[in-house]
Structure 1
Amino acid sequence: MSLMQFLPLLVFVAIFYFLLIRPQQKRTKETRAMQSSLSRGDKVVTVGGLQGTIDSIDDQTAVLRCGGNKLTFERNAIRGVLKKANAPEPEAIEEKSTEK
């Protein structure tokens, strides 16, 4: 068997790795970093779409405050951070009037 017979298979494996496996590993790493950086006061969204503010958090669970209610979620159920607790408020963009 020659190398030319295995070349299409090797190309297919390389394409599969760079298009599917590597991006998934990157997303997993980013998600773990986001979940490890969660803190009290962060506004977050869960995998179910519920938005709330973290009231308390430990290694396994996070208690979210949503409309006066407190709900307990697994820490892994938090999909993303909408606003960090210590993030500065964006300055209001003033529209310049074009009066003539």
Structure 2
Amino acid sequence: MDMNTIINFAPYLLIIGVFYFLIMRPQAQKRKEEKTFAESLKVGTKVITTSGIHGKVNQINPEKGTVLIETGAGKITFERSAISVELTKKLSETVITKEN
């Protein structure tokens, strides 16, 4: 390889590097955080779903990957992945702040 060939491929390598650090890496970290959160759910935890439904975890079915959430309107079954990590964290931070 001569220097001219390396210089011609440099912009492509730069684009790949930027793509990885700005798009792929943050998405992988977010997926890991969501998986850890879904696995750490316990009965009695107050949660918010991605559709905005507030409730409390009533039952967890690990075989099916579902969660039974008790809401004001009754009990509804959701997929574990339907529980919003960000909204639930905000809810728990709000509760902690109000307690202090």
Verify same fold: TM over 0.5. Answer: yes
* Match of residue 75, structure 2, among 66, 70, 86: 70
Once residues 74 and 40 of structure 1 are traced to their aligned partners in structure 2, the CA distance between those partners, rounded to angstroms, is 15
TM-score, with length taken from structure 1: 0.79
Once residues 22 and 64 of structure 1 are traced to their aligned partners in structure 2, the CA distance between those partners, rounded to angstroms, is 32
Report the structure number with the largest CA radius of gyration.
1
- Going from structure 1 to structure 2, the CA distance change for 1:14 and 1:32 (only over 3 Å counts) comes to same
User: Bigger shift: 1-10 or 13-22?
Assistant: 1-10
The residue that corresponds to 2:30 in the other structure is: 27
Q: Which runs of 5+ in 2 are unaligned?
A: none
Structure having the higher strand fraction is 1
The residue that corresponds to 1:39 in the other structure is: 42
The answer as to 2:50 corresponding to 1:50 is no
User: Bigger shift: 57-66 or 22-31?
Assistant: 57-66
Q: Deviations over 1:21-73 (max 9, x none)?
A: 00000000000000000000000011111010001112111111111511111
User: Bigger shift: 61-70 or 34-43?
Assistant: 61-70
- Percent identity (aligned): 35
Once residues 72 and 23 of structure 1 are traced to their aligned partners in structure 2, the CA distance between those partners, rounded to angstroms, is 30
User: Please, what is the CA RMSD of the aligned residues?
Assistant: 2.2
Once residues 5 and 77 of structure 2 are traced to their aligned partners in structure 1, the CA distance between those partners, rounded to angstroms, is 60
Once residues 2 and 31 of structure 1 are traced to their aligned partners in structure 2, the CA distance between those partners, rounded to angstroms, is 42
Once residues 31 and 91 of structure 1 are traced to their aligned partners in structure 2, the CA distance between those partners, rounded to angstroms, is 26
